[in-house]
Chain A
Amino acid sequence: MTTALLEGVTRDQVWPGAVIDCDVHANVPSLEALFPYMSKHWVAWCTERGWRGPVSGVNLAYPPGSDRSCRPQWRPADRPPASELGLLQQHVLDPWRVEKAILTCYYAVDSLRHPDWAAALARAVNDWLVAEWLDRDPRLAGTLVIPARDPASMIAEIERVGEHPGFVQVLLPVRHAALWGQRQFHPVFQAMAERGLVAGLHFGGVSTDAPSSTGYSSYYVEEYAAEWQAFTSQVTSLVSEGVFQACPRLRVSVLEGGFAWLPVWGWRMDKEWKGLRREVPWLDRRPMEIIREHLRFSVAPADLGTREQTAKVLEWFGSDDVLMFATDYPHGYDDDIVDLLAAAPPAMRQRIMADTARDWYRL
C-alpha cells in the first residue's frame, strides 16, 4: 500500500474511523535470536553444523534486497526489516493508530525436511513471537507457525501454543508440498477450528514442485505476479475436498494473495459444481456460498483497475464482508487504499478497514 507510509497525507484523511491491519510481519533477525527459545540440543544442532537458518526458503519468497520484500522507507540501516517490535510500532501501529494488527512471521520452517528439527524451529519461532512481540504490545494478535510437512507435528504445535490468548491464526504457506484441502490435513484444520484459530493462507512457502504447473519461471516478477495461481489452487482444494463440511466452524484468511480473481473463480467453480457435483457430493451448495461464509481476503496487494472497474469487481463479490485492510508491512506495493475505498460502496468501507477483521478474528 502506497498510503501505508502516510506520506503527504494524514491517517484521518485516509480513514477517520477504526483501523485493523490484518497482515503485518515480523522477521526473525537471525537464527541466534531464536537460541533463547530452543533447547540446548537444538542450539547445538545448529552451531555444530554452522547452520544459519532456512535462508533458501525465505529468500525464495522474499529476496532480501527487493523493494517488494521491504519498502525502502521502512528499511533500517542496521537491522533486518521488521525484525523488532519498535520498528513495527514506529512504522505502522502508532501512525495508523491501529486498534489491532495481526502479526505473521514467515521463517520458512516448512523448508526443513527434518521432522524433529522443523518442529523445534516452529516452537522457537512461536515462543519468540510471544515473548518479543505479542506480550509486549496489546495491539498485536499473532499467527503461529507450524512444521507444515507433518500433520501430527502441526497438531502438536497447535495444541502446545494454540490456546495462548495472543494467537488467533495459524500460518499456512500457500506453496506447499501438498494441496491443503487433502484428507491428511483435515485433523489439522479440526485442531484449529476447535480452538477458534483462523487458518491464514499466506504468500510464500516451499513447494516440492515449481510454483507454476508447467515448470520453473525465469524471473522473480513471474513468480511474484503469478503467485495467485497457487492461492486459487489451494482455495479450490479446500472447497472441493470438503474441508468446510468436515470443519463447519473453520475460518480461512487469504493473506497477500490478491482478491480480484475471486469472482471469476467463483463463476467457474459454481458452474463446474453443477455438472460435477456427483464427484464431490459433500458440496451441498455453490462454492461461492462456501467462500462467503468461510473465507476473507486481505487487501494487500490490491488488484486494482480503474475506480469503475474495481467497483464492478467488488460488486461481484455479492457481499460487503470479504475484504480486510492490510498494510502488509514491511512489504512494498504501489497500490493505494484510498483508491480501493473510493471504489467500495459506503457500507463496505468500514467493514474493510476494521469491522470484518474484528468479527473474523474475534478481536
Chain B
Amino acid sequence: MTGRYVVGRVADIPEGGRLLVEVGGREVGVFNIAGSFYGLINRCPHKGAQMCRGNVVAGLSSSGPGRFDYDESTALLMCPWHGWEFDIRTGRSYVDPRTRLRTYQVEVAGGDEVDGLPVAGRLPGPYVAETVEVGVEDDYVVVDLRRARKAAG
C-alpha cells in the first residue's frame, strides 16, 4: 500500500469541477480550483455530512450593510447540511475557525510516473457528469493519503 492513488486524468476535472473518489477506504473530493487541485475528505467535521457534494462558492465579506466584497480568488465549499463554509485550499471553516477539515495532498504526475499505483473507484458527485469529457491527456490526477496537506493560516 503506497498511499498514492491515481484518481483520474487532469482533463476529467476541469477548472471549477470536482471528483468524488474512494481511495484507501476513504471518500475524498478532488477539486480543481483555478487550475490547481485540492483534496478534501468527504466528511464534514461538524456532523459528518458528505460535504464534498456541497456548493463551491466564492468568498463574500462586507465592511458594512449593503457593501459586498465578492472575492473570486477564494473558493469555499458549503456543507449541504448546515451551510458552513470551508476554504477548499486550507480546509478552514469560515464560521468557526476551530473546525477544520482534513485536507489531502493532491498532485499532478506525468503519465509515465503512475504505473503501478492503484486507481481509485469513483463516486461521481452532482457536477462530475458535466466535467467528464472525452479527451486524450497524458497527465493523471493522483491523491496521496500519506501526507495531510499543510493548511495555511
* A interface list, Cβ under 8 A from B: 183, 186, 241-243, 245-246, 273-278, 281-282, 284
Contacts and interface: CB of A to CB of B under 8 A. Distances in A.
B119 interface: no
Interface residues of B, number: 18
24 contacts: A183-B65, A186-B65, A242-B66, A243-B65, A245-B62, A245-B64, A273-B95, A274-B82, A274-B95, A275-B83, A275-B84, A275-B95, A276-B83, A277-B85, A277-B94, A281-B60, A281-B62, A281-B69, A282-B62, A282-B63, A282-B64, A282-B65, A284-B61, A284-B62
B95 A246 contact: no
Nearest to B94: A277
Main secondary structure of the interface of A (DSSP, over half): helix
Nearest to A275: B83
B53 to A, nearest CB: 16
Contacts of B83: 274-277
Nearest to B61: A281
B65 A275 contact: no
Contacts of B94: 277
A245 B66 CA distance: 11
B84 A274 contact: yes
A241 B67 CA distance: 12
Nearest to A277: B95
A246 B68 CA distance: 14
A246 B85 contact: no
B97 to A, nearest CB: 12
A273 B85 CA distance: 11
B95 A241 contact: no
B138 interface: no
B57 to A, nearest CB: 7
B82 A275 contact: yes
Contacts of A245: 62-65
A278 B60 contact: yes
Nearest to B57: A278
A242 B62 CA distance: 10
Contacts of A246: 64-65
Contacts of B96: 274
Interface string B15-41: 000000000000000000000000000
